Structure 1
Amino acid sequence: MPKATVDVDHTRSPRSTARLAWLIGPALVAGVAYLDPGNVASNMTAGARYGYLLVWVVVLGNVMAWLIQYLSAKLGIVTGKSLPEMLGERISHRWARRAYWLQAELVAMATDIAEVIGGAVALNLLFGIPLLWGGVITGIVSLALLMLQSRRGPRTFEFVIIGLVAIIAIGFTFGVFIAPPEAGSVVAGLVPRFEDTGSVLLAASILGATIMPHAIYAHSALARDRFAPPSAGPGSRTPVPLEQLRGIPTLRLLRATRWDVSIAMLIAGTVNLCILLLAAANLAGVEGTDTLEGAYAALQAGIGPVVATLFAVGLLASGLASTSVGAYAGAEIMHGLLRVRIPLIARRLVTLIPALIILGIGVDPTLALVLSQVVLSFGIPFALIPLVVLTAQARTLGEFRNRMLTTTAGVAASVFLIALNAVLLWLVLTGA
C-alpha cells in the first residue's frame, strides 16, 4: 500500500529559517571596505575641520553604497560569476582586457597600501612599534587570515572578518557615548551645503573612500563563492540551472541579500558617522588633528586614554580586515580578467612590498592615505558603469535584470560619484 504524501512548506520551517540566516555574511565582509583606514582619516578630518557640516555626505554615500553593493551581489548570485569574470568574457580584445586589468590592479594595490599603512599606524600608537615593522606585522596577520580563507573556506573567513567588524564598531563608536554630539547640530548637518573649497575636497574624499572599486569586484565574487556551487562555476558547461543546484530559489537568495546588504551598510554607515561626530564634538578647532596620530593624541588629551586606545584598536582591526579583503579582491581581478589564478598567499606577499617601501622611506602616513584615495578615484568609473550596464541587461540577468527605477538610480549614483571624484582629482592636482 503506497504511503500517503503530504506537501510541506519548507520555506516556513525552522530549518528553512536557520538556512536563511546562514545566507547572511558576504555583504558584511565586503562592507569592511567602507570601514578601512582611508574612511577613518577622511571622516576624522572632516569632523575636526568643519564640525557637522558634512554629515549629509556620509549619509548620502551610505545610501548609494547600498544600491551599488546590492547590484554587485545580485550579479554574482544570478550568474554564478563575479564582475571581473563577466568583464573577462565580454571584453574580447586581449589588449583591451589587459589594459582594464592593469587599472583595476593598480586601484586594488593602492587600496592595499592604505590599509597596511593604517594597521602600521595603529600598532605604532598602541605599542610604539616603528611603522615599517608595524607594516610587516600587519602583512603577516593578514596573510594568516588569507590562509584561513584558503584552507577553511569562505564561511570561516566571514566569521573572522565579522568579528573584526565588531571590534571596529566598538572602537570607533565608544567615544560618541562618552562625549556625545549636539543633536541639533547633527540634524543641521543633514542639509546639503559646502563652506569652501576645502569642504568640497573633503566631501569628495569621503565619497571616494566610501565607494571603492575593489568592494564592487569583491562582493560579486563573495556572493558567487557562497551561493554558486563548484559545478556551476566559471567554465562550467552544465545545463542544470544554478537554482536547482543550490536548492534555494534565486528570488529568496536576493531577498536575503537585501537584508545582508542592509545590515552591512547600517553598520558601516553608523560607524563612519560616529567617527565624524566624535571629531566634530571633541576635535573641532584643535590643532594637529588632520592626521591619525594627531587625532589620537587629541582624543587622549580631551576625552581620556580609554577612548583613544579603543580608537587605535579599531584602526588596527580596520587595517587587518580591509587588507585581507583587498587581497581577495585583487586575486579575483587577476583571475577574472587574465584567466590566471595565483594563490592568495603569493599575492599578499607581492602587494605588501609597495606599502613597506612607502613606510620604509618615511613618507607621511596620512599623506599616503590621501594619495591612495586619489588613485582610487581613477577606478570608480571602470567598476560602476559596467556593473549598472550588466545588471540592466536581460541577456545577463534574465528576469532578474534591474527595473527601470533601479537602473535610473544606478546611473544617477554613478554620474554623481564620477563627477565628485573628478572634482577631487582636479582639486588635488591643481593644489586648490
Structure 2
Amino acid sequence: MTTLTSQPPTARPPRVAWLLGPALVAGVAYLDPGNVASNMTAGARYGYLLVWVVVIGNVMAWLIQYLSAKLGVVTGQSLPELLGRRIRGRWARRGYWLQAELVAMATDVAEVIGGAVALNLLFGVPLLWGGVITGAVSMALLVIQSKRGAKPFEFVIIGLMAIIAIGFAVGVFVAPPDGPSVLAGLVPRFTDAGSVLLTASILGATVMPHAIYAHSALSRDRFAPRGTTEPVSGGSLRAGGVSVSRILRATKWDVTIALGVAGTVNLAILLLAAANLPGVAGTDSLEGAHAAIAEGLGPAIATLFAVGLLASGLASTSVGAYAGAEIMQGLLRVRVPLLVRRLVTLAPALIILAVGFDPTLALVLSQVVLSFGIPFALVPLVVLTAQRRTLGEHRNRPWTTVAGAGAATFLIVLNSLLLWLVATGA
C-alpha cells in the first residue's frame, strides 16, 4: 500500500469545513440552465405530474456523486484517467472520448445559452453577444482554477451557487404550491410521450455525465496528488495530513449538502411553474416564463429569477469546461491550450444563437443528449468502485453496487423507451 503525506502526521488536522467544497462545485452542474428549462417546462405543461422524477433523480445523484468523489480521493486519479489506462484499444478509447466530448459540448450549449438568455432579460444584451460574454467569464473562472488552485475556484462557484438558490427559490415562498398536489406528484407515472421526453430531459439535467467526470477530478485535485497507482488504506494521509477515511466521511456531508441544495432548488423551479404557470401562454420558453412570473408575481421576483439564471449559466459553464478538459486529457492524454479548447466548445452554442434557433428548445434537447451519455459514465463508475484492485478496502459494499447498477438500468430502460416512443410517433 502507498501512504502519501503532505504534512507531518503530528500536524493539527483541519476542521471538517476545510474538507468541504468539491461536491458543492460539482453540484452546480445540477443547477444549470438546462435544469431550469426542463423543470420549468415540466411544471408548466404537466403541473405536479413529474415531481417524482426530480426526487428520484436527486437520490440517484447523491449515490453517483459520492462514488465519483471516492474514486478520486482513494486512487488519486479521475474517472477519465482510469478509463484512459484501462481501455487498451486506441480506437475504443477514441470512440469513448468522442461520446464523452459530445456530452460535454451538449452541456456547454445549455449553459452558454442560459447565460445569454439571462443577460438579454436583465440588460437587453443580444443573445449572441450574451453567449460570448458568458464564455469569456467562464474562461476567467477557469484561469482562477488553474493559477490559484482548487480552493479559490470553489469559493467563487459556491458564491454563485448561493445566488442561484436565492434567485430560483424565492418565488415558491411568495406563491406556494398546493400541498396535496405535490404529494400526488410523488407517485411515478406518465401520461404521454411528451412526459417521457421531459422525464429523460430532467434526468439528463439531474444525473449529469460531466458532473461524474468532474467530481472525481475535483476531489483528486483537492486531496490526492496525481500519480497514485494503487489504492490506499483508510489510515493513509492525503493533503493536509488528513486520513482517507476522514476525507470520505466529510465527503458524504459535502455531497449531502450539495445535492440537498440542488434538489431543493430544482424542485422549487418545477413547483413554481406548476403552481403559477399552467395554461399561461408562452411559458414553454425561458423568456415567456420570465414574463409570466413578472406579471403574476411581480418584477422583483422576475428579476431574481433572471439573476439566478445568469449565475447558473456562469457557474455551470465553468464546471462544464473543467470537465471537458479533464475528459480530453484523461482519455486521449492530450492537453489543449485553454483558449483553443474553449473556443471550440463554445462554437455550437454560439452557432445556435446566431441562427436564431429557439433557445429553450435547444436547452431541453441538450438535456436529452446528456441523458443518453449517462450510462457511459455511470456503468464504468460502478464497476471501478466495486473492484478491490481499484479501491482496495474502500470498494463498494454489495448493496451499493446493486443500487448503482439499479440506477444505471433504470436510466438505460428509460432512454430505450423514449427512443421507441419517438420512433413510433406515440
TM-score (norm 2): 0.94
Alignment match, 2:85:
89
Secondary structure, in 3 states, of the residue corresponding to 1:286?
A: coil
Q: State the structure with more CA Rg.
A: 1
- Give 1:236 deviation, angstroms: 7.1
Q: Does 1:414 align with 2:408?
A: yes
- Give 1:428 deviation, angstroms: 4.6
The CA deviation string for residues 284-313 of structure 1, in whole angstroms up to 9 with x for no partner, is 121211111111111111111011111111
- Give 1:83 deviation, angstroms: 0.2
Which of residues 102, 105, 112 is equivalent to 1:109?
105
Q: Does 1:340 align with 2:334?
A: yes
Alignment match, 2:227:
234
- Give 1:371 deviation, angstroms: 2.2
Alignment match, 1:385:
379
- How does 1:241-252 map onto structure 2 within 5 Å? 243-246=236-239, 247-252=241-246
- Give 1:153 deviation, angstroms: 0.8
Which of residues 347, 358, 364 is equivalent to 1:353?
347
Unpaired runs of at least 5, structure 1: 1-8
Secondary structure, in 3 states, of the residue corresponding to 1:195?
A: coil
Which of residues 261, 267, 271 is equivalent to 1:267?
261
Alignment match, 1:295:
289
Which of residues 348, 351, 373 is equivalent to 2:367?
373
What RMSD, in angstroms, separates the aligned Cα atoms of the two structures?
2.1
The CA deviation string for residues 153-205 of structure 1, in whole angstroms up to 9 with x for no partner, is 11100000000000000000010111111222212211222223222222221
- Identity percentage of aligned residues: 77
The CA deviation string for residues 86-128 of structure 1, in whole angstroms up to 9 with x for no partner, is 0001001111111111111111011111110010011111111
Tell me: CA distance 1:430–1:321, structure 2 relative to 1, closer, same or farther (3 Å): farther
Alignment match, 1:197:
193
Tell me: CA distance 1:192–1:327, structure 2 relative to 1, closer, same or farther (3 Å): same
1:371 and 1:194 map into 2 onto residues whose CA distance is: 19
Q: Does 1:40 align with 2:36?
A: yes
- Give 1:245 deviation, angstroms: 4.8
2:55 and 2:47 map into 1 onto residues whose CA distance is: 15
Amino acid at match of 1:234: G
Amino acid at match of 2:179: A
- With 408-417 and 369-378 compared, the bigger mean Cα shift is at 369-378
Alignment match, 1:68:
64
Amino acid at match of 2:199: A
Alignment match, 1:167:
163
Unpaired runs of at least 5, structure 2: 1-8
1:255 and 1:244 map into 2 onto residues whose CA distance is: 14
Q: Does 1:276 align with 2:270?
A: yes
- With 398-407 and 352-361 compared, the bigger mean Cα shift is at 352-361
Figure out how many residues of one structure are paired with residues of the other and give that number. 417
- Give 1:234 deviation, angstroms: 3.0
Amino acid at match of 1:366: T
1:56 and 1:328 map into 2 onto residues whose CA distance is: 31
Displaced runs of 4 or more, over 6 A: 235-242
TM-score (norm 1): 0.92
- With 245-254 and 56-65 compared, the bigger mean Cα shift is at 245-254
Alpha carbons 1:374, 1:424 under 8 Å: kept: no
